[in-house]
Amino acid sequence: MAPDGPEYEALAKAAADNGIYLAGNHYETDPRFPDLYFQGCIIFSPFGELVLRYRRLISMFSPSPFDVWDKYLEMVCLQQSGPLFELVPAPTEVLGSGGPALALAS
C-alpha cells in the first residue's frame, strides 16, 4: 500500500464513518526508499486522521534495518517532531506500537 493511496483513504473513511480507532498491519511503500517494502502498523483516529505509524523491515530476503537505519532516521524520523516510538492517548486506553506488532495497553 502507498501511504497516499486509495487504501489509506478507505481506511481513514471507515474509521471516521464509524467513529472508531482503526488499526492495521500491512506492507507499505515509501518513495524515499523505492526498493523496499516496510511492514507497517497504523492507527487511524475516530476522525479519520492517521495518528500513528510504525514500520519495520523483515530482513530474511531484503536489507536488514541496519542497512537503512541512518538514512531512515535522517529522511523520516528527524523530519518529524516527536519520538521514534509514539503513544496515542485515547479516551480509555493508550494505543502504541512497539516490537513486531501493534500493542494496546490500558
Number of domains in the chain: 1
Structural domain harbouring 12: 6-105
Give Cβ neighbours of residue 63 (< 8 Å, ≥ 6 apart).
36, 57
- Measured on CA atoms in the order 74, 76, 80, 84, is the torsion positive or negative? negative
Contact status, residue 44 vs residue 51, Cβ threshold 8 Å = yes
Is 1 part of any domain? Answer: no
Q: pTM of the full predicted structure? A: 0.67
Predicted confidence (pLDDT) per residue in 14-27, tens digit = 999 999 889 999 88
pLDDT tops 50 at residue 102? no
**Which class for 97: exposed (0-12), middle (13-18), buried (19 or more C-beta within 10 A)?**
buried
Predicted confidence (pLDDT) per residue in 22-79, tens digit = 999 988 888 888 888 888 888 999 999 998 888 877 656 666 666 777 777 777 665 5
